[in-house]
Amino acid sequence: MDHNPQMPTPPPHSTEPYSIGPCGTEPCGPGPYRPAPYSSWMQYFSPTANHRRLGLVCLGVGVQEGPLPVVGPRALDHHVAVVVTRGRGWFSHGGRPPQPVTAPALLWLVPGVEHHYGPDPRTGWQECFVDFAGHSVEAYTDLGYVTPDRPLVPLSATAGVRHVVDGIVRAARTGGPLLEVEAAAAVHALLVALRYARAEVSRHGDAVMDALARDALLPISVAEHAARLGIPLPELRGAVRRSTGEGVKEYLLGIRLSRAKELLARTDLPVAGVARRVGYEDPGYFSRLFSRRVGMAPGRFRAQQSFHDAARPG
C-alpha cells in the first residue's frame, strides 16, 4: 500500500561507501537545512546464540539523508533507535496522532508497537539508526535509558551518538571475525550516548547531581540532603531518578561503597574507620550493606584486592 504517493521511489540500498558520512558531516546546530538527494546505506547482522549471551546484540545499522520514503505503519520484533540529526518530519507511535519531529531527536521503535514516520517531503532529514535486541534491554529500560513510554525524545546534541554509530559503520564496512562482538559492545555505548544527549527540561539538572555526589559521604539522611540543596524532597527524588534510573538511597550507596572499596584496598584503616569515612557510624550496618551489595564482607574484599602490603621490588 502506498502511504504517500508524492514521495519519490527510493533507489535500491547500496553497500558502497556512503558519500555524506554516517550521520551527516555537518554540525547539527541551528540554521537552515538544505536537503541532499536521497542517499541510503545500511547493513544487517545475524548474531549467533553465543553473541546473544552478551546481553545486547546489534541487528543492523543504517545512515540516510534526503527526502526519505515514509516508514510504516508497521511493528517490529526488536528495538530500533532512530536518531534524526537534521531536518524535520513527523512520528506516530501506537496508533496515536502524528507528532512533529524537529532535529535533533530520537525515535524509539519498540517491539510489538505500531509506528509510522517520515520526513517533511519539502526538506527531508538526515538520520542514522541502530537495530538491537537482547535481555539487557529490560535493565536499560528500568534504568530509564530506553523509554518506551516516551518514544519521541528531544536531544540537545548528537556528536557523541554520531561517534558511536560511526564506529559501528566502520566495523560493518571492514567486516572480520570480531564484527558481531564489536557491534554488540557499541550498542551498550550507544544507549549511554543517547542518555547523555537528551535535552532534559529539569530546572536543576546536573547541578543537583553534582552537589549530591559532592556531599554523598556526609552522615545525613536523604531529607537532609534535600534541605542542604534547598529543594523539596520529591524534587530531589525526581532529579535523581531522571538522571540515574535509581532512587536517591541507591545512588548515594553506590558512591559510598565505591569509596569504601578504595579505602579497603589502599589503606590499613579498620572496617569501623572505613565505615565512618563513608558516612556510617555503625560498622555492623555498614558491613551488612557492603555484603548485600558487593556479595562479600568488607574484610574478604580487602583480602582479595589489597596491595597496600604487597612486596615492592628491591
Same domain, yes or no: 184 and 52: yes
Query: Last residue of a domain, which of 180, 197, 214?
Result: 197
10 Å Cβ neighbour count for 27? 13
- State the CATH number of the domain containing residue 69: 2.60.120.280
Same domain, yes or no: 300 and 281: yes
The verdict on residue 288 lying in a domain is yes
- State the CATH number of the domain containing residue 291: 1.10.10.60
Q: All 3 cell numbers of residue 168?
A: 559501528
Same domain, yes or no: 241 and 292: yes
Name the most confidently modeled range: 35-39, 258-262, 301-305, 310-314: 258-262
Same domain, yes or no: 164 and 282: no
Domain that holds residue 112: 39-197
- For a pLDDT cut of 90, what percent of the chain falls above it? 68
Q: Between residues 313 and 222, which one has the greater pLDDT?
A: 222
Q: How many domains does the chain have?
A: 2
* Residue 241 CA: distances (Å) to CA of 152, 166, 210, 229: 19, 30, 14, 16
Q: Between residues 163 and 157, which one has the greater pLDDT?
A: 163
Q: Give the separation between CA 97 and CA 198, rounded to whole angstroms.
A: 23
Lowest mean pLDDT, pick from 31-35, 63-67, 90-94, 251-255: 31-35
pLDDT class of 36 with cuts at 50, 70, 90: low
Amino acid making up residue 39: S
Same domain, yes or no: 184 and 234: no
Average pLDDT, integer, range 288-310: 83
Could you read off the pLDDT of 216-230 as tens digits, one per residue? 999 999 999 999 888
Same domain, yes or no: 114 and 174: yes
10 Å Cβ neighbour count for 54? 17
Same domain, yes or no: 255 and 144: no
- pLDDT of 167: 95
Could you read off the pLDDT of 93-122 as tens digits, one per residue? 999 999 999 999 999 999 999 999 999 998
* Averaged pLDDT of the chain: 84
The verdict on residue 217 lying in a domain is yes
Q: Could you tell me which of 8, 194, 177, 4 has the C-alpha nearest to residue 83?
A: 194
Which residues are bridge partners to 80 per DSSP? 109, 131
- pLDDT of 307: 60
Average pLDDT, integer, range 183-207: 79
Same domain, yes or no: 225 and 193: no
Same domain, yes or no: 211 and 166: no
